[in-house]
Structure 1
Amino acid sequence: MTEPRDLDLYQNLVNGDKKALEALYDRYEKLVYSFAYRMTKDPELAEEVVQEVFIKLWNPHSPYSSEKGKFSSWLLTMTRNTALDFLRKQANKPTVEYEERDSPQEAADSPGELLEVKEQSQLVRRAVQRLKKDQKQIIELFYFQGLTHEKIAVRTGLPLGTVKGRIRLALKHLRTHINEEGGKVNGY
């Protein structure tokens, strides 16, 4: 029996199916937690982010649409924005830079999961390394340092539209690089 697709689960969730929420939680909780932990460097705050993300998912304030891209990408964007909101509330804690030691390996339970997370992490890292210098810089500022589009524009001296365009283009290239390696990263 094949697992339901993310879009099917999401549609069921929108229709009030709690089992669909549970299935999405089981599928993405570790990814959401590790991403939130990378940004916050605080296990308790990362747990709060996970809880808030899945509450937002249950009560959709900005519903998912497949035209916006993959469900997992949309969920990570929601996670990023939620983590940034929590960090802003704690103004005394600055947004932190991504470091190798913050990889999601800590969130894996079994050796098999640990290996899968490590392989996915390496795949993404190789894909990021293949980006052009300007795209790589934008991705690192946006996803790993958690800067807003506006802050990236100020830091780089680029127009806001250029920053947004480079992020979209870099994500497209990342997807292509991952697909070329035959890789799959949590639904990609």
Structure 2
Amino acid sequence: MSDRDLDLYNQVLEGDKGALEELYDKYEKLLYSFAYKSCGQKEMAEEVMQEVFIKVWTQKATYDSSKGKFSSWILSVTRFTSIDIVRKKENQNYSLEEERDTLHQEEPSAEDLAEWKEQGEIVREAVKQLSEEQNKIIQLFYFKGLTQREIASSCNLSLGTVKGRIRLALKHLRKELSNIKEKGGVGDA
């Protein structure tokens, strides 16, 4: 491992964004190429890259110089991140295919439609309880179907901020939905 890589990595551990950018610039092409070969899709490879550097920045992946070269370590992080993202996407696609198959098999009953309407009202009521910024993010992500990157771009936010707001909003939604269920539904107090 080059001494420069170790210096940069140690600076990243101390919160130096410039050092993270320098590591990114140095390894971007190698890691993207590796991720693309693993995933086979441009968007997934970009997501892998982002996740790898988030892991480095947040220290969810930590390098130990006694175990080998930095370049080998960061390639390993990329490999495992690629595997995780591919599995996650396959599970999402499988679930969507199951839902489509179910929808094509039978028309929903009147009871199903009434239940869906009631569930929709409960979710809308819970979303109203979110802060304005969380509500906006949830509306864009779940109801308008924008990607996290598109939201970040349109709202002039970092991707990490968007992900954090979605995570926090979902946490608040779970709590709010639980409160609504305890009260017995929408309009019951």
TM-score by length of 2: 0.46
- Compare CA radii of gyration and give the structure with the larger one: 2
Which structure exhibits the higher relative contact order, with contacts defined as CA atoms closer than 8 Å and separated by 6 or more residues?
Answer: 1
TM-score by length of 1: 0.46
